[in-house]
Amino acid sequence: MDFKIINKLGLAKKLGNYMGWSQKESLYFIEHCFDWIKLKMIQGNRVILSGFGVFQLNFRKKRRLLHPITQKPLIIPERLCPQFTPADSLLKLFNRKAIL
């Protein structure tokens, strides 16, 4: 499969064309939408977008492992990691497209 990379500016152009907004208005909307999702996740909320997926923060425990080259022990501290879980309908759509 040949995938294209779409960055925030490209998304703003597409959204602007679709909604009839200027690129500046689209970029403003995208920035505020992402900021709102990040804020809600930081506050401990799960952001559920029906038919798309769930954004949430997961707590990862402290881990010990060995450096692959030096074989010295490393400790990775506990941390919060963002996670996206796609909706079942989105997964089915992708898998249907992959089969065709």
Residue 3: predicted pLDDT: 77
Residue 97: predicted pLDDT: 63
Sign of the four-CA dihedral 18, 3, 32, 81 = positive
Using CA atoms, how far residue 35 sits from 28, 43, 68, in Å, is 11, 12, 37
Residues 39-69 pLDDT 10s: 999 999 999 999 999 999 999 999 999 999 9
Residues 57-100 pLDDT 10s: 999 999 999 999 999 999 999 999 999 999 999 999 988 865 55
Cβ atoms within 10 A of the Cβ of 26, count?
22
What is the set of domains in the chain, with CATH numbers?
1-45 (no CATH), 46-100 (4.10.520.10)
Q: pTM of this prediction?
A: 0.76
